[in-house]
Amino acid sequence: MDLDFTPDELTFCEEVRAFLRAKLPADIARKVHDGRRLAKDDFVRWQKILHAQGWGASSWPVAHGGTGWNPVQQHIFDEECADAGAPMQLPFGLKMVAPVIMTYGSAAQQQRFLPRIVDGTDWWCQGYSEPGSGSDLASLKTRAVRDGDHYVVNGQKTWNTLGQYADWIFCLVRTSTEGRQQEGISFLLIDMKTPGITVRPIIMMDGEHEINEIWFEDVRVPVGNLVGEENKGWTYAKFLLGHERTGIAGVGRSKRELKKLKELARREAASGRPLIENARFRDRIAQVELELMALEITNLRVISAEGEKRRAPGPEASILKIKGSEIQQMLAELQMQALGHYALPYLHEGLDGAWQGDPAMPAYGEHAPPLSGHYFNYRKTTIYGGSNEIQKNIISQMILGL
């Protein structure tokens, strides 16, 4: 594999960088680099800017409003956006439900939903996990009973990310109790404004409202919002999870956080010497950087194979999910260590974009308030999208045949 970019790819790099310099709002980039809270408007505003450029969906085919870029161009775009401080494009619509609609949805569903995803009109969220049905997702109990031209949905979903902003939710629901658990699941698209839906916040350790539980009480969903066939939703769910787990790798974001780590380590510590001069700490930085390089190469191989074979990632997505999430946690831990005792206090108001810093922390003021919350937040990366323990089971069964 040739790891050097071709002249055309280098030209594309410059094109993306020029666009980011011209179009990425400075206030949004500042929030991203400083680890501050991003509002719904920040995500939507950036998506609309990308859509106006024709870059709203880097991995979609042109026929559905995408760029038609090859895997290397997609990788370059993601990396340059992360480095510049662009907010992550929310994956729930673009990279999770959209591929399912493109592959298994009807023409009417594609025409109705895809344009509103790519232009930032509709915000999507995910309805998979339930109390008692997380890693064992096939045991889910939310029911959808056919009643004429509608399904009537009752049940509860949990660990729902950013559903308080969502216009639509894609849900796994049980439509049959016969046979194996996986054979009675269907995939529904549900308007979040439908009567009977209640969103209840789950406040995290950092005080943020990022996740929710969602209740469905006699929610009527048109049969036309069923994706594919009834009771075949487990197939579509696995297809979607392959895309989600590849995205969790987050190579570009981790490279940005590695830069921040090195910046922190080069600052003068209380001892008078920058931490980067400590051989053991420097070795830990080198180790995580090498692992990130290996992850990047593996990620390129996976997305290249996906493009060539026109299929969702298989068990290799589990490898990316495991390593990507572990690297994100390692970087957060090393950043905490680089700040030392300045990382211990957590100022919730420090996440506000207008916060000006604490004079008691002159050297690290812009980083310290968000960092401990960032560290705790990233403890979940090895759990969501299917816990890493489950991913190891998938690898052992599908690759090693155990």
Determine phi and psi for 187, rounding to 5 degrees. -115, 110
Which residue has tokens 């406040």?
203
Under 8 Å between Cβ of 13 and 74: no
Long-range contacts of 279-285 (CB under 8 A, 24+ apart): 281/334, 281/337, 281/338, 284/334, 285/258, 285/261, 285/334
DSSP annotation of 349: G
Q: Residue type for 120, please?
A: G
Q: Which residues contact 279 (CB under 8 A, 6 or more apart)?
A: none
Burial of 2 (0-12, 13-18, 19+ CB in 10 A): exposed
> What is d(CA 279, CA 97) in angstroms, rounded to the nearest whole number?
46
Candidate list 79, 80, 244, 257, residue with the active-site label? 244
Distances from the Cα of 35 to the Cα of 192, 207, 305, 347, angstroms = 29, 15, 34, 13
Active site residue 79: no
Closest by alpha carbon to 108, among 226, 232, 234, 221? Answer: 226
Q: Residue type for 266, please?
A: R
> What is d(CA 94, CA 118) in angstroms, rounded to the nearest whole number?
7
> What is d(CA 289, CA 334) in angstroms, rounded to the nearest whole number?
12
> What is d(CA 18, CA 71) in angstroms, rounded to the nearest whole number?
20
Catalytic residues: 244
